[in-house]
Amino acid sequence: MRSLLTILLAAASLPVAARAMEPGERQYASTMTSPILPRPQATVTQCASKEDAADPTRFTAHSPAADCQVTPGSRTSENYSWTVSCPKQGMRGEGKARFGCGTIESDMQTTMDMQGQKMDMLNRTSGRRLGPCKTK
């Protein structure tokens, strides 16, 4: 279950990162709903360096969902849509993100084949910039 949440969070954050980002620490909160699952929630905090912000593939390069194919859809300054396909996990879906000043809201509807059973999921993610990256 934890790996499924990680895959969904990573897949959802790929298109989000594709928009021009300001460097800094970001927090993403995600809620997944499905008829056969409870409401798993996850919060991820990540630092985007100046280099990461300029090249979003660096920001998501170590994602466990690296085998997923994300295909960009329509894009405006306030919205972005995409489709995702993860053949190894038997998952496919589509999503849409809405941008605000330092915030983002996204919905991703996915279908997954788990041991011969079809499972529909809705992943809702909200993100915000927290400020400069914390030094370690």
27-49 residue pLDDT tens:
989 888 887 766 678 898 988 78
Total tally of structural domains belonging to the chain:
1
Answer yes or no: is 6 within a domain.
Answer: yes
Is the model's pLDDT at 5 over the cut of 80? no
Is the model's pLDDT at 111 over the cut of 90? yes
Query: Could you list the residue range(s) of the whole structural domain that residue 67 is in?
Result: 2-131
pLDDT level of residue 21 (50, 70, 90 thresholds): low
Answer yes or no: is 31 within a domain.
Answer: yes
3-state secondary structure of 94: strand
- pTM for the structure as a whole: 0.67
Answer yes or no: is 124 within a domain.
Answer: yes
Answer yes or no: is 136 within a domain.
Answer: no
Name 101's Cβ contacts closer than 8 Å, sequence gap at least 6.
Answer: none
- The span from the first CA to the last CA of the chain, in angstroms, equals 30
Mean pLDDT of 73-95: 87
Mean pLDDT of the chain: 76
CATH number at residue 60: 2.40.160
Answer yes or no: is 23 within a domain.
Answer: yes
